[in-house]
Amino acid sequence: MTAHLVERPRIAARPDPGPCPVIETARLTLRPHRLSDADAVAQSLGDYQVSRMLARVSVPYHRQDALDWLIRQGSGLIAGWTLAITTGDDVHIGCVGIELRHGQWNLGYWLNRYYWNRGYASEAAYAAMERFFRRMPGTVLHSGVFADNAGSLKLQKKLGFEITGCSEIYALARHGMVSHIETMITADGLRKP
């Protein structure tokens, strides 16, 4: 009796930049999040001045919301990196993430309001993108900003992002549709701030 082997269909491997790294910059350490970051995340995202500029953050935002988010980020089920932005004494001041959504790589970031206007966001975003592009050089990275977030659009232009369009997206914190400027960048377009 001869058994016929049937070859299983191959599943296309999703592109993967590898495990979430630790990245050192002149002033910051970017590292994987820990559950112990929950209080800092909740404090930052509980500030409406921060959460109103993010599409997927609800208001109010509590410690349990932060824990739920941190557990999802650490599960290994989400393709990409979610890096805690920390200062030299390991104080959590924000987040920069690169994740695969709807087949496209996307950059997102936020910073505790008390650390705005010091260049930390551009330093962290540049460092994360530079490492990402070293691992995945042919990738297009997408991002965007709400139309009323001039500071974030200025940051993205400084890094080399180009505007590709405008749309409207739902913002949980604002409970409504918000005009969104869409941007993109490739490794060749990345500029050091």
Q: What confidence tens digit (pLDDT) does each residue in 39-73 have?
A: 999 999 999 999 999 999 999 999 999 999 999 88
- Kindly give, in sequence order, each residue whose CB lies less than 8 Å from that of residue 7, ignoring residues fewer than 6 positions away: none
**What's the pTM?**
0.89
Nearest Cα neighbor of 169 from 183, 182, 156, 157 is: 182
Cα–Cα distance measured from residue 3 to residue 98, given in angstroms and rounded to the nearest whole number: 46
* Token pair listed for 81: 């990196």
Place of tokens 């004494």: 89
DSSP assignments along 114-146, one per residue: GGTTSSHHHHHHHHHHHHHHHHSTT--EEEEEE
CB-CB contact of 26 with 126 (8 Å): no
Q: Can you give the pLDDT at residue 11?
A: 46
Banded model confidence at residue 156, pLDDT cuts 50, 70, 90: very high
Q: Which residues pair with 165 in a beta bridge?
A: 182
Tens of pLDDT, residues 74-98: 877 778 899 999 997 899 999 999 9
